[in-house]
Structure 1
Amino acid sequence: MTDPFLNRELTRFSEERELLQNFPVKDLAVIIREVGFSCTRCGNCCMTAQNGHVFLLDQDTRRAMEICPEAIIPAPFFEICDRKGNFYVSGYALRTTMEGLCVHLIDGKCRIYNERFSICRVYPYMLHREPDEKGILTFRQISGLNEHGEYNTQISDNESITLAQETKVYEMDWLSQMIGFYRALIDLFAKSGERHVRKIYDQKMREFAKGETVNVFVFYEGEFIRHTVCLQDYGGII
């Protein structure tokens, strides 16, 4: 018997991917031209106060390991916890300093700007659904509007189409990674007899918040990689 919670999450992400697949690139391109965002390399988007953590797709994790393997950690806010108290999370994230700055931000500048990761390349553009003020799920296309960079810059039709395509590809890849995570976890739990237990999840998160170490299995390239982490590892993020 499969875990009903995992099945619901798998269905939810699968439906989101189908909706995203049908979203017209040209519609996002129009919004990109209207906003006219221009990066000034202010570094605000590299701070957790602005954007939380930087989630890495598998292809980004591979490059991150080549650049500086110590700069990655299991992504925070673990999705699943089994009956033994083991957490499971859908990928890795970038570490930050205790001040909440990306570890690659040096003197206000990104030291790997030409090799920056997928989310960093498409930001502030986005294409996923979030609840509006009435609680209705609608697509959002821009993050942090008027909080950094410059606006009303002229963007050509070709450039806006390229940006829109890259943004949609990123969002599709993210959803595919989430779908892969839940499919793999359903298979793993079906074999082991495990399941997600919210009560144990909450209990272990309280212990984690007090500084105790926890086991986290990170989904990476189709497998679950075991790590042991504590709250101190997430200084600046949590």
Structure 2
Amino acid sequence: MFSDYRQRLVNELKEELEAAVNISCEDLASQIRSIGFTCSMCGKCCRRSCGDNRVFLTSSDIRSLQDCSLDDAVIPMLPDMPDMPDVSFADALHEYARELEVDSQGRYHTFGWMLKRKANGNCSFIGEDGSNRCGIYGSRPMLCGTYPFYIECGKLLTSECEGLGKPISDEDAVLLAKGLLDRYVTELKDTVLLYEKFEANDGSSPNIPSSKSSSDVDEVIFVVHDHNGNSEFAIKLNQ
């Protein structure tokens, strides 16, 4: 049953969405020009050693990656696991599983999808030759294309980035503003659908540790809750 609380959340999101479509792209571009931004190609936003570099994917991002035959780059949203070179993915997942809900079947429940990362935590598509070039630049996710800017509750905000404060052209500011608005609206629509289609698992209970060691488990099953409803996703271990 769709709870009253969830209905209130949906109604609030729809109100925010209605306000979002009325945000002026010109005003947003003006704010961006005032702040200033030029990417320095430092690659810090793509590397785990510089902080949480998880890239949350919108429904539009997922379609774009699948159209480019990069659907294997899409994985369930995971807790931010730092670079642990001497620890297997299975053990790292077990360590951070307290941040996820595990049901009676041993399936991990999570919300949404993220871009796959390398074993060292860096983005799977950043060049390791020193150039820091993106291997999927033309199909990069909305978050990447609009970083370090984001919109929250209708307000323009920024993440930490050494490129802030540098000059930006009028044309680039407008393109960035359009990308930000598209991302903001898409994220709101996705979240509304998530709440509307969410189905709780009756047999779930939080923070149930696995009774098996990582060497005894071949794969981990995730139940991903997103704009499409619920779906299962398996991650192979010990390969």
Shift in Å, 1:19 = 3.8
SS in 2 for 1:96: coil
Deviation by residue 1:13-38 (Cα, 9 ceiling, x = unmatched): 33432343343333321221012201
- 1:152 corresponds to which letter in structure 2? K
**What is the CA–CA distance in structure 2 between the aligned matches of 1:10 and 1:37, rounded to whole Å?**
34
- 1:76 corresponds to which letter in structure 2? L
Q: Contact 2:45–2:53 (CA<8 Å) still a contact in 1?
A: no
Deviation by residue 1:123-165 (Cα, 9 ceiling, x = unmatched): 1221114xxxxxxxx8342221xx3336331422x44233212
Shift in Å, 1:2 = 2.7
Report 1:49-128 matches (<5 A): 49-65=50-66, 66-77=68-79, 87-107=108-128, 108-128=132-152
- 2:190 corresponds to which letter in structure 1? Q
**What is the CA–CA distance in structure 1 between the aligned matches of 2:142 and 2:20, rounded to whole Å?**
18
**What is the CA–CA distance in structure 1 between the aligned matches of 2:12 and 2:46, rounded to whole Å?**
29
Deviation by residue 1:100-129 (Cα, 9 ceiling, x = unmatched): 210001223211223322221111221114
- Runs of 4+ aligned residues of structure 1 deviating over 6 Å after TM superposition are 78-85, 210-213, 230-233
Higher mean alpha-carbon deviation, 72-81 vs 112-121, is at: 72-81
Q: Contact 2:193–2:226 (CA<8 Å) still a contact in 1?
A: no
**What is the aligned counterpart of 1:224 among 221, 225, 230?**
230
After TM superposition, the score normalised by the length of structure 1 is 0.70
**2:2 corresponds to:** 2
- 2:123 corresponds to which letter in structure 1? C
**What is the CA–CA distance in structure 1 between the aligned matches of 2:145 and 2:63, rounded to whole Å?**
16
Higher mean alpha-carbon deviation, 3-12 vs 47-56, is at: 3-12
Shift in Å, 1:177 = 0.6
Q: Contact 2:74–2:115 (CA<8 Å) still a contact in 1?
A: yes
Q: Contact 2:125–2:136 (CA<8 Å) still a contact in 1?
A: yes
**1:135 corresponds to:** none
Indicate yes or no: 2:36 matched with 1:23: no
Higher mean alpha-carbon deviation, 73-82 vs 58-67, is at: 73-82
SS in 1 for 2:78: coil
Deviation by residue 1:17-76 (Cα, 9 ceiling, x = unmatched): 234334333332122101220112211111244443101112221332334333221112
Q: Which blocks of at least 5 consecutive residues in structure 2 are unaligned?
A: 80-98
Q: Which blocks of at least 5 consecutive residues in structure 1 are unaligned?
A: 130-137, 234-238
Q: Contact 1:89–1:216 (CA<8 Å) still a contact in 2?
A: yes
Indicate yes or no: 2:195 matched with 1:182: yes
Q: Contact 1:89–1:217 (CA<8 Å) still a contact in 2?
A: yes
**1:168 corresponds to:** 181
**1:14 corresponds to:** 14
Shift in Å, 1:166 = 1.8
Q: Contact 2:225–2:231 (CA<8 Å) still a contact in 1?
A: yes
Name the CA shift for 1:177/1:232 in 2 (closer, same or farther; >3 Å).
farther
Q: What count of residue pairs does the alignment treat as equivalent? A: 211
Name the CA shift for 1:20/1:105 in 2 (closer, same or farther; >3 Å).
same
**What is the CA–CA distance in structure 2 between the aligned matches of 1:106 and 1:171, rounded to whole Å?**
28
**What is the CA–CA distance in structure 1 between the aligned matches of 2:26 and 2:194, rounded to whole Å?**
30
